[in-house]
Amino acid sequence: MARKTGQCLCGAVTFTAVVGDTIQACHCVQCQRWTGGGPYFAVAIENLEMPGAESMRDHHASERGERTVCGTCGSTIYWKMQGKAPQILAAGLLDDQSGMRVTEEIFVDYRPSWIPAFGGARQSAEADEMAKLDAYLASQST
């Protein structure tokens, strides 16, 4: 993981974070609508510093999830569990995306037929992801 910088389309939201080099592509219907058709390409982050946070707008997209965009230009910023700090953000915001690759695709049962699978990436369907979420939530309540 390396410290990287990034910003939204208009520059109102800027950040630095420690970022991994792997990308997760989410094909769920909400992500398709949120990004305008493709998957949401997410990178894992740590130590997020975001001085432009006052420009962001949150949308409670489900009973558990929250999607955040730039309130000025509408750029996709991140998805997070409600009440939790973000652990991923949109890969396209990074100033330097060199050396990154898609290693996992989730909600592949919703991947549009016109989007090919990423070679070598782990594949996970909705049922698998919901089981992981249920296990995570159960671990948080004990």
What pLDDT was estimated at residue 83? Answer: 87
Q: What is the pLDDT of residue 141?
A: 76
Is this prediction's pTM over 0.95? no
Task: Using the predicted structure, report yes or no on whether residue 121 has a pLDDT greater than 80.
Answer: yes
As a dihedral over the C-alpha atoms of residue 106, residue 79, residue 19, residue 110, rounded to 10 degrees, the angle is 20
Domain boundary assignment for the chain: 2-140
Q: How many other C-beta atoms can be found within 10 angstroms of the C-beta atom of residue 3?
A: 11
What distance, in Å, lies between the first and last C-alpha atoms of the chain? 30
| Segment 33-53, tens digit of pLDDT | 999 988 999 999 999 999 878
What's the pLDDT at 142? Answer: 67
DSSP 117: P
CATH of 2-140, one of 3.40.50.1860, 3.40.640.10, 2.170.150.70, 2.102.10.10: 2.170.150.70
Q: Which residue has the higher pLDDT, 111 or 61?
A: 111
What pLDDT score does 101 carry? 97
